[in-house]
């Protein structure tokens, strides 16, 4: 057990010091709650490239602890996302809130016919009473 832990710790240490690693694997998507301003989705495929490395952002621009949060005040500083999202390196975050923050979409309201079909499938009459047994 201890050997497995040491091997895992060594692997993490080597990966963290490797300067050729991708910033985020292209298939990785991470969602953040957006602190009540709409969900923020980070897509690895949009943040990878030949010159992108983990160290470009992590440890210098981002607090990598799980409890860290990007605050409204951070939006005015050249740190975290905003070090690159300045309008020069990447699209400007200022006045483009909806490029990152997305309000949840309400589920579509089913049509009358769809509600009737769902009720019949559930064995409930449309008026809420149990459907008669065949």
Show the domains of the chain with their CATH numbers.
14-105 (3.90.10.10)
Strands 39-43 and 29-32: antiparallel
DSSP-assigned letter for residue 109 = P
Rounded to an integer, the average pLDDT of 20-44 is: 73
For residue 12, what pLDDT band results from cuts at 50, 70 and 90? low
Residue 95 or residue 19, greater confidence: 95
User: What pLDDT is recorded for position 87?
Assistant: 92
User: What pLDDT is recorded for position 20?
Assistant: 38
pLDDT in tens, 53-109: 767 777 777 776 666 678 888 888 888 888 889 999 889 988 888 888 888 777 777
Helix, strand and coil percent figures for the chain, each rounded to 5: 35, 10, 50
Residue 80 or residue 129, greater confidence: 80
High-pLDDT (> 70) share of the chain, %: 69
Residue 91 or residue 26, greater confidence: 91
- Measured distance CA(92)–CA(94) in Å, rounded: 5
Nearest CA to 45 out of 65, 25, 60, 63 is that of 25
User: In whole angstroms, what separates CA 62 from the centre of its chain?
Assistant: 15
């Amino acid at each position: 057990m201890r050997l497995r832990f040491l091997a895992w710790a060594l692997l993490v240490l080597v990966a963290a010091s490797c300067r050729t690693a991708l910033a985020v694997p292209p298939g990785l998507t991470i969602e953040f709650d957006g602190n009540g301003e709409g969900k923020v989705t980070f897509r690895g495929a949009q943040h990878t490239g030949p010159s992108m490395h983990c160290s470009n952002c992590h440890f210098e621009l981002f607090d990598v602890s799980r409890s860290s949060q990007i605050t409204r005040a951070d939006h005015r500083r050249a740190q975290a996302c905003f070090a690159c999202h300045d309008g020069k390196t990447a699209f400007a975050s200022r006045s483009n809130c909806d490029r990152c923050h997305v309000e949840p979409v309400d589920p579509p309201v089913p049509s009358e016919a769809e509600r009737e079909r769902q009720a019949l499938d559930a064995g409930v009459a449309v008026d809420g009473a149990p459907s008669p047994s065949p």
